[in-house]
Structure 1
Amino acid sequence: MRVMRKLKAKRVVIKVGTSTLVYPDGSINLRAIDQLAFVISAMRHRGRDVVLVSSGAIGVGLNYMGLKQRPKAIPEQQAIAAIGQSELISIYKERFAIYEQKIGQVLLTRDIFVYPKSHRNVLNTFDALLAQNVVPIVNENDTTAVDELDHETKFGDNDQLSAVVATNIGADLLIMLSDIDGFYDANPNEDAKAQLLAHIEKVDQQTYDLAGGSGSRFGTGGMVTKLKAAERMIKADGQMILANGEDPSIIFQIIAGEPVGTLFG
Structure 2
Amino acid sequence: MQNKRQIYADRIVVKIGTSTLIRQNSKINLNVIKKLAKVLSSLKKDGKDVVLVSSGAIGVGMGVLGIDRRPVKISKQQAVAAVGQAELMQIYNEAFHEYGMSVAQMLITRDIIDYPESHTNVMNSFQELLSMDNAIPIVNENDTVTVSELDHHTKFGDNDQLSAIVTNLVDADLLIMLSDIDGFYSANPLKVPDAHLVSHIDTISPAIIAAAGGHGTKYGTGGMTTKLKAAERILKHNQQMVLTNGKDPDIIFNILSGDPVGTLFSTARE
TM-score range, shorter chain: over 0.9
Q: In the TM superposition, what whole-angstrom CA distance separates every residue of 1:164-190 from its partner, at most 9, and x where no partner exists?
A: 000111011000011110000010111
**How far does the alpha carbon of each residue in 1:180-231 deviate from its partner, in whole angstroms, 9 at most, with x for none?**
1000001011111000000011112221111111100001001011001111
| In 1: Cα distance, 2:112 partner to 2:187 partner | 37
Q: Counterpart in 2 of 1:34?
A: 34
Matching of residue 59 in structure 1 with residue 24 in structure 2? no
CA–CA distance in structure 2, aligned partners of residues 53 and 163 of structure 1: 10
CA RMSD of aligned residues (A): 0.8
Task: State the match for 2:70 in structure 1.
Answer: 70
How many residues are aligned here?
265
Q: Give 1:112 deviation, angstroms.
A: 2.0
Distance 2:114 2:41 in 1: 31
In structure 1, what is the Cα distance between the partners aligned to 2:72 and 2:209? Answer: 29
User: Who is 2:211 aligned against?
Assistant: 210
Does the residue aligned with 1:180 lie in a helix, a strand or coil?
coil
The residue type paired with residue 122 of structure 1 is V
Q: Which moved further from structure 2: 66-75 or 220-229?
A: 66-75
2-side partners of 1:74 and 1:213: how far apart? 22
**Aligned counterparts of 1:235 and 1:143: Cα–Cα separation in 2:** 31
1:61-140 alignment runs, 5 A limit: 61-133=61-133, 134-140=135-141
Matched, 1:248 2:218: no
Same amino acid, percent of matched pairs: 56
Q: TM-score normalised to the size of structure 1?
A: 0.98
User: What amino acid is the match of 1:205?
Assistant: P
Partner secondary structure for residue 197 of structure 1 = coil
| Within-5 A mapping of 1:106-185 | 106-133=106-133, 134-185=135-186
Distance 2:26 2:197 in 1: 29
Amino acid at match of 2:256: I
**1:161 and 1:6 mapped to 2: Cα distance?**
25
Could you say what secondary structure the match of 1:184 adopts?
coil
Q: Distance in 1 between matches of 2:137 and 2:210?
A: 35
Task: Return the TM-score normalized by structure 2.
Answer: 0.97
The one-letter code of the counterpart of 1:7 is I
Structure 1 runs (4+) deviating above 3 angstroms are: none
Cα shift at 1:153: 0.5
Q: Distance in 1 between matches of 2:55 and 2:22?
A: 10
The equivalent residue for 2:14 is 14
Quick one: distance in 1 between partners of 2:210 and 2:245? 22
Partners of 1:208 and 1:72 lie apart in 2 by 28
- 1: distance between equivalents of 2:20 and 2:38? 15
Instruction: Look up the equivalent residue of 1:241 and give its one-letter code.
Output: V
